[in-house]
Amino acid sequence: MSRRVRVTDTTLRDGSHPMRHRYLPEQVEAIVRGLDGGGVPVIEVSHGDGLGGSSLQYGMSATSELELIERARRVAQRARIAVLLLPGVGTRRDLAAAVEHGAQAVRIATHCTEADISEQHFAVAAELGLDAIGFLMMAHMLAPDVLAEQAALMASYGASCVYIVDSAGAMVPDDVRRRVEAILPRVPAVGFHAHNNLGLAIGNTVAAVETGAAQIDGCLRGLGAGAGNAATELLAAVLDRMDVESGLDVFSLSDAAEHVVKPVMPFQPFPDRESLTIGYAGVYSTFLLHAKRHGKRLGIDPREILIELGRRRAVAGQEDWIVDVALELASAATQR
């Protein structure tokens, strides 16, 4: 009997980063319609940095995420609508409001060493009747056995699945296999979220599925932070070739990627020299556009900024550090 995995599409959350959080309601409706018609069971809709992320630090949304969630729920016939919540960015109140506007599941995301800060958020999710999934970001930074301890914490709080999140796109397939193997006995189910900064998003996702991951993520045309994510339409085809059941329709999703998403994309995410550097340095994928912007403003190669952030082990939520590092590098350059 073939295996089955659940695919969550995050074009309308991770894809918010390259879109600079400028999604319009009609774009959301069209994308949800395409995903829903292509058999995607879970569609994530939020600001790129999760509920409450619309801010000067993370980027202001063109449209309230609550309106986008409501539009998505209205259009979806079969798919469930999920949201992302980063404790410290989003609040319990934000989550309750998202439920009022149609959210049916939540992915609760912390840095890979900070699962303990999510306990109250899983409790609130349970009170609200949500399917709650754990999201351990920057998972390449912890050894597999230590990551498994963090995953077990999220499971004890009520997570139905805990994701290994390759936020930097820094993993190679063996990194993925070892982490899935370590976590699998400790949680109800393992998920994997890939970024393509080293060109390995599909390969790493395949490694995760082969090792036992039951949930995986994708974005149409790979539209996500950094060099993007595993492309949902490619995952549909690859899973079919692997004889893994997903319920996805390859042609429908390919059509949605080509005719719905491609026309609104500002650029095609790709492992170019800067996004490759993110995977190489092991820094958060959302740092890419910030490093490019400040590098251009100060006349610095953005790769230098990214490498220095990697050396300092910068993590999600430290976007303001990018400015400090860029200024320090610019100052050092003028003194040479």
Q: Which of 17, 101, 111, 121 is catalytic?
A: 17
Q: For residue 137, what is the enclosing H or E element?
A: strand 131-137
**DSSP secondary-structure letter at 144?**
H
Buried b or exposed e, range 259-292, using 16+ CB within 10 angstroms: ebbeebbeeebebeebbbbbbbbbbbbbbbbbbb
**Long-range CB contacts for residues 59-65, cutoff 8 Å, separation at least 24:** 59/17, 59/20, 59/21, 60/21, 61/16, 61/21, 61/22, 61/23, 62/21, 62/22, 62/23, 62/24, 63/23, 63/24, 63/25, 65/98
Q: For residue 172, what is the enclosing H or E element?
A: none
Q: Distance (Å, rounded) from C-alpha 62 to C-alpha 75?
A: 20
Residue 17 bears catalytic tag: yes
Q: Distance (Å, rounded) from C-alpha 331 to C-alpha 199?
A: 34
Q: Distance (Å, rounded) from C-alpha 37 to C-alpha 310?
A: 40
Please give the span between the terminal C-alpha atoms of the chain, in angstroms, as a whole number.
65
Contact 294, 323 (CB under 8 A): yes
> Catalytic residues, which ones?
17
